[in-house]
């Protein structure tokens, strides 16, 4: 069961210039939607980031090639099969799907971007995907965000949606996005996919810069199990329908408001993945301050967030806080003065100057550990840098879900 507030927004704003559909193609699952198409207006600009996993899936490779050659008009996603570790055959199947959709819609094949998620190393049933195209195209609608969010799920227990509206100088900008992911999560740009659209008019180069910057503080700051998927992809689309005034630089008077709203949507979608981590019972924020650089703060945060010993202690509500110190110690900061390090669990100081805090009690530690949402704050006391990573605990159910994944 997902942790905390994971509700679908009361208002999910349609984005003018975006239509979506979801249908059951029978790729792997029976009687559930597993094929999603997103249609993009020809006025739109699009930005993409993809996994850094060298063994990336065939659709990721094709996506990169197509994105370099044409403006995207259609995004097509299948679930149940990652089409990764499938060699030349997988690439051919991904191209066949793109060509079939391009033929039916009258666009160039390069204007179709493919996405897949699911089991690695098994041939994709591309015939089933192609057979489902007519139904998917017939059902395209600007109001289908929730259906699409459900259609891209694999082991996700909830649809992941976020939506915002921001008014600037009489112009209303709308932002809506969806993501999927629950396990194999440690994006590096789990099986993680993210699609966000806005009706803002944003120049292509700036849109790519915005996506890269926002991604670093959202999808690139989460981990469930430390595994970077072969299929991670994130797309940001700006349809330009809200205004003819192009946001073309950070100095544009509307840039900051739009950037902040986009960031809020991305962070919400990223956190929803962690809240829905496979088997998760705790949502954990690992905040590191007092670092010399952002990178070392990130290294420490991820060392703690990835530690199976830390994660299992939180699952058991066991205030075995020495495991946190051990993770900090192996994070790779060679000149760290451990006698300057302080650690808090929410409001409770557990470690002061590298040792147990004089005010700490086991009862206070256990009380915090019993909460569903906890912040681990580590102060390195060596600089002004800081960073934050979001993670979850490691439960019996995580092992069960992944042991049974292919059955």
Q: Euclidean distance between the first and final Cα of the chain, in Å?
A: 21
The predicted structure's pLDDT at residue 192: 84
Sequence-distant (6+) residues with CB within 8 A of 407 are none
Q: Which residue has the tokens 């072969």?
A: 230
d(CA 362, CA 125) in angstroms, rounded, equals 55
Give the orientation angle of helix 204-216 with respect to helix 255-275, to 10 degrees.
40
E strands, 51-142, in order? 74-81, 112-119
E strands, 229-338, in order? 233-238, 283-291
State the pairing for strand pair 373-379/283-291.
Answer: parallel
Concerning whether 191 is annotated as a catalytic residue, the answer is yes
Please report the sign of the dihedral spanned by the C-alpha atoms of residue 140, residue 143, residue 147, residue 153.
positive
All domains of the chain, ordered by start, with CATH?
18-275 (3.60.70.12), 283-403 (3.10.20.340)
Name the phi and psi angles at 130, rounded to 5: -65, -40
Q: What DSSP designation does 85 have?
A: S
d(CA 311, CA 315) in angstroms, rounded, equals 6
The predicted structure's pLDDT at residue 189: 45
The predicted structure's pLDDT at residue 1: 75
d(CA 107, CA 50) in angstroms, rounded, equals 23
Q: Which H or E run includes 203?
A: none
Give pTM, 2 decimals. Answer: 0.94
The predicted structure's pLDDT at residue 130: 98
Sequence-distant (6+) residues with CB within 8 A of 84 are 55, 56, 57, 58, 90, 116, 120, 121, 230, 231
pLDDT tens track, the chain, 407 positions = 799 999 999 999 999 999 999 999 999 888 899 999 999 999 999 999 999 889 999 999 999 999 999 999 999 999 999 999 999 999 999 999 999 999 999 999 999 999 999 999 999 999 999 999 999 999 999 999 999 999 999 889 999 999 999 999 999 999 999 999 886 656 664 458 999 999 999 999 999 999 999 999 999 999 987 777 888 999 999 999 999 999 999 999 999 999 999 999 999 999 999 999 888 999 999 999 999 999 999 999 999 999 999 999 999 999 999 999 999 999 999 899 999 999 999 999 999 999 999 999 999 999 999 999 999 999 999 999 999 999 999 999 888 877 776 54
Cα 306 versus chain centre, distance: 17
The predicted structure's pLDDT at residue 190: 40
Catalytic position from the list 191, 223, 228, 239: 191
**CA separation (Å) from 291 to 124, 301, 326, 353, 384?**
46, 11, 17, 15, 6
């Amino acid at each position: 069961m997902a942790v905390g507030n994971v509700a679908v927004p009361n208002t999910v704003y349609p984005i003018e210039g975006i239509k979506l559909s979801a249908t059951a193609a029978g790729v792997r699952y029976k009687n559930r939607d597993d094929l999603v198409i997103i249609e993009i207006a020809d006025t739109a600009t699009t930005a993409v980031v993809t996994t850094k996993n060298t063994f990336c899936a065939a659709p990721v490779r094709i996506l990169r090639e197509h994105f370099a050659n044409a403006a995207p008009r259609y995004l097509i996603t299948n679930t149940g099969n990652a089409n990764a570790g499938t060699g030349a055959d997988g690439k051919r199947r991904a191209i066949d799907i793109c060509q079939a959709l391009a033929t039916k819609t009258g666009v160039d094949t390069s204007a179709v971007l493919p996405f897949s998620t699911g089991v690695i190393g098994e041939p994709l049933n591309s015939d089933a995907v192609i057979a489902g195209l007519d139904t998917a195209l017939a059902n395209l609608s600007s109001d289908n965000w929730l259906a699409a969010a459900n259609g891209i799920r694999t082991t996700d227990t909830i649809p992941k949606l976020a939506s915002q509206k921001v008014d600037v100088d009489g112009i209303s900008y709308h932002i809506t996005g969806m993501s999927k992911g629950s396990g194999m999560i440690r994006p590096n740009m789990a099986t993680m996919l993210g699609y966000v659209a806005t009706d803002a008019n944003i120049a292509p180069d700036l849109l790519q810069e915005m996506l890269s910057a926002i991604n670093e503080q959202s999808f690139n700051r989460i981990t469930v199990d430390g595994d970077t998927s072969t299929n991670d992809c994130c797309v940001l689309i700006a349809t330009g329908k809200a205004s003819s005034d192009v946001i073309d630089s950070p100095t544009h008077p509307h840039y900051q408001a739009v950037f902040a709203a986009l960031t809020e949507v991305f962070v919400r979608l990223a956190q929803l993945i962690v809240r829905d981590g496979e088997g998760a019972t705790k949502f954990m924020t690992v905040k590191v301050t007092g670092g010399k650089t952002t990178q070392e703060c990130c290294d420490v945060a991820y060392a703690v967030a990835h530690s199976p010993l830390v994660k299992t202690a939180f699952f058991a509500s066991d205030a075995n806080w020495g495991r946190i110190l051990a993770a900090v110690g192996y994070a790779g900061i060679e000149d760290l003065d451990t006698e300057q390090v302080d650690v808090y669990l929410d409001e409770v100081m557990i470690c002061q100057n590298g040792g147990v805090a004089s005010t700490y009690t086991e009862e206070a530690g256990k009380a915090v550990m019993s909460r569903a949402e906890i912040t681990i704050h580590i102060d390195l006391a060596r600089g002004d840098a800081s960073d934050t990573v979001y993670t979850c605990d490691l439960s019996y159910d995580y092992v069960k879900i992944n042991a049974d994944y292919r059955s």
